[in-house]
Amino acid sequence: MDNSWVGVVVGLLFLAGGVALAFGWWNTTRRLHLVRATRTSPAGEVTSQRAGELVEVKGTLRCEAPLVSELSRQPCAYYASSLEREYEDYDRDSDDRSRRVRRSEKLASDERCVAFFVEDQSGTVQVAPEQAHVDAWEVVNRFDEATALGPTIWLGAQSFTMGGSDTLGYRYRERVLPVDAPVYVLGVVNGDGQIAAPPREDGEQQFVISHQSEEALARSLGCQALLLGLFALVFTAAGVAVLVLMVRLAAQR
């Protein structure tokens, strides 16, 4: 491929990355605005509010039939578990010299949730967590070095035999929303008086469940929005610069 076309492709990739990052910035900024602007409602009064109204509740997570997480075996209303293989590979640098690099691949992931209640001094309200943006508590982040031939493990419905000549080890991760722990929920009231996801056609509302306090969540979202905005600007500027350079080089030929 001609070098000029390589430059155009690189420039377009930078621009595409900038657009994706800008969308992430917009979505995160919108979420942050709603977290800050929405008034906290007493949990016991949510069922009396009209369907479609955005509400925010804080309290203790209660669950009548909790899940048991895959890795930490904790009772919870939500968990997301994953298994990654970290392995050694070979790559070539700009001088065509071979070098060893460390890579990873996701082997399996499992995410589950069940309905739960938020309880405060006023009473309880049920939450239907499907389609929520869940900010869960990380309880497992463990790396196990590989052996020559390890045991077979299960994650969800998938099984894996551990080991392999190029395998360095396995990374286990898990996040949970534990029962009887503080929880923050921002969502809309549905027709059954639950807090749930907004209709798909409603792009203005958000559905957030977090193990953090409102204040800590707002700080976290603010940092995320700042980083996404900065990277969006950098990627967009780099894409424009590369494309302008390619146009100038083409004009000189």
pLDDT digits (tens, 9 = 90+) for 19-58: 999 999 998 998 899 999 999 999 999 998 998 899 999 9
Note the pLDDT of residue 129: 95
DSSP codes, 186-252: EEEE-TTS-EEPPPTT--S---EEESS-HHHHHHHHHHHHHHHHHHHHHHHHHHHHHHHHHHHHHHT
- What is the enclosing helix (H) or strand (E) of 161? strand 158-163
pLDDT digits (tens, 9 = 90+) for 206-223: 899 999 999 999 999 999
d(CA 134, CA 218): 14
Residue 148 has pLDDT above 80, yes or no: no
- Judged by DSSP in three states, 131 sits in coil
Q: Show me where the domains of the chain are located.
A: 3-251
Average pLDDT for the chain: 87
pLDDT digits (tens, 9 = 90+) for 227-249: 999 999 999 999 898 888 888 87
Residue 165 has pLDDT above 70, yes or no: no
Higher pLDDT, 18 or 251: 18
Note the pLDDT of residue 151: 57
- Classify each residue of 11-34 as buried b or exposed e, where b means 16 or more C-beta atoms within 10 Å of its C-beta: beebbebbeebbebbebbbbbbeb
Residue 3 has pLDDT above 80, yes or no: no
Instruction: Please report which confidence band the pLDDT of residue 157 belongs to, taking 50, 70 and 90 as the band edges.
Output: low
Structure tokens of 232? 């969006």
Are 59 and 43 in contact by the 8 Å Cβ rule? The answer is yes
Note the pLDDT of residue 236: 93
Note the pLDDT of residue 55: 94
pLDDT digits (tens, 9 = 90+) for 96-117: 677 778 888 888 889 999 999 9
Residue 70 has pLDDT above 60, yes or no: yes
